Amino acid sequence: MNKQTLADFDPQIKEAIKHELNRQEQGLEMIPSENFVSLAVLEALGSILTNKYSEGYVGKRYYGGCEYIDVAEQLAIDRAKQLFGAEHVNVQPLSGAPANIAVYFALLQPGDTVLGMDLSHGGHLTHGHPVTYMAKIFNFVRYKTNEIGKIDLDNLRAMALEHKPKIILVGYSAYSREIEYEKIKAIADEVGAITMADIAHIAGLIAAGEMNNPVPIFDIVTTTTHKTLRGPRGGMIMCKEKFAKDIDKAVFPGFQGGPHENNIAAKAIAFKEALEPSFKEYAKQIKANAKTLEAKFLASGYKLMFGGTDNHLLLVDVTGKGLSGKQAQIALDIAGITVNKNMIPDDPRSPMDPSGIRFGTPALTTRGMKETEMNLIADWMDEAIMNWQNEEKLIEIKNRVIELTKKFPLYPELQ
């Protein structure tokens, strides 16, 4: 066994990690799907649990020596049930996409129809975009938002009646509004469809009671455990008891092998953190910070998709300012502000050079930033976009960013 430290054995990787830590410490992370985990979560991820194979489920493993693994996984399951009011929980999916794919394999036959959201209107690749392999196996029909940026439930019902989907899928990666789960459930019941919600982006806000919770209403709910839930990178499936066996068989042995128990232990820790009263205050602040950014960008003349935000993110068309989403992302990166280029509804531009940028507040809120900082950051973002070809100005903004981040240290213990 190699007993050298990382620094001694592989200084190149050590150096890359060090530079990434500095980037995270000195920049403003505003990609809405990113966040910062606690030291306890990091400790579990790097623990000896990574050594153990544990194919199967609690009490029903294919390997011996899983008694302590079972303790950690059961804690994750129990805490997730408490957080969301779930009947059954599978914490083994490796990420959000595998969780969604496992649901499709559990409940669908090849050629079955799924009614999901169009990617450019805020949906996700795994909700049936033609470039994915799932779209070659199942028939995905995609609904859109209306002219005021809201999901048109009358149109959704008409499409459901026309296409008779096996699953009606809601939940989004760039949609910034609340979801009316009860009304969508009524449409699904009318056509005999299974209801599925992908809450990957908003799971933390739901767990804290700051957004509507589909878990007691829908048949199946999938999520990632990072993003607003502020845990390790991973996935989870929650479902009604009637679907439990099919879901578990689809995850293992249908789709995955041995679960990553170090990651599952880290999920358990994140769920415990989310049960603390402080997490509710954190979720409230995420929304308050997003509303502050909304007001600033509207005042600066930007076009906000869906009319604004009810959650943690904003999708903004920047073409009115004379540049593309890709150019805005690059300029903001130079300025030390990380966002991502993103399609807007029915975008005339390509996905790799779209019209919009997507940004949010979870990571900044984790660092302790509030409305005062959001006002300042919004001004810097506007300044960077308006001066996107002026590298000297962008570097000047970056220096201001670095000074701000010094007031909100991220991982001083790791420096």
- Show which residues are catalytic: 53, 55, 198, 224, 227, 233
CB neighbours (10 Å) of residue 19?
Answer: 10
Q: What residues are paired with 350 via a beta bridge? A: 353
C-alpha to C-alpha distance for 219 and 95, rounded to whole angstroms:
20
Q: Which residues contact 155 (CB under 8 A, 6 or more apart)?
A: 143, 144, 146
Concatenated DSSP letters of 28-76 = EE--TT-----HHHHHHHTSGGGG----EETTEESSS--HHHHHHHHHH
Inter-residue contact 170 to 142 (CB < 8 Å): no
Contacts of 24 (CB under 8 A, 6+ apart): 36, 410, 411
- 22: Cβ contacts below 8 Å, ≥ 6 apart: none
Q: Is residue 125 a known part of a binding site? A: yes
The dihedrals phi and psi of 235, each to the nearest 5 degrees, come to: -130, 170
Give the integer Cα–Cα distance in Å for 216 and 87.
8
Single out the residue of 167, 164, 122 nearest to residue 146, CA to CA: 122
Q: Helices 153-163 and 181-191, interaxial angle, to 10°?
A: 20
Sorted by sequence, the CB contacts under 8 Å of residue 279 that are 6+ apart come out as: 204, 207, 208, 273
Residue 96: which of 6, 240, 221 has the closest Cα?
221
* Helical ranges in 258-390 per DSSP H: 261-274, 277-299, 325-334, 362-366, 371-386
Q: Is 119 annotated as a binding residue?
A: yes
Rg over alpha carbons for the chain, rounded to the nearest Å, is 22
The span from the CA of 193 to the CA of 171, in Å, is 16
124 is in an annotated binding site: yes
* DSSP structure string for 203-251: HHHHHTTSS---TTTSSEEEEESSGGG---S-EEEEE-GGGHHHHHHII
Binding-site members are 119, 123-125, 241
Binding-site members for (6S)-5,6,7,8-tetrahydrofolate are 119, 123-125, 241
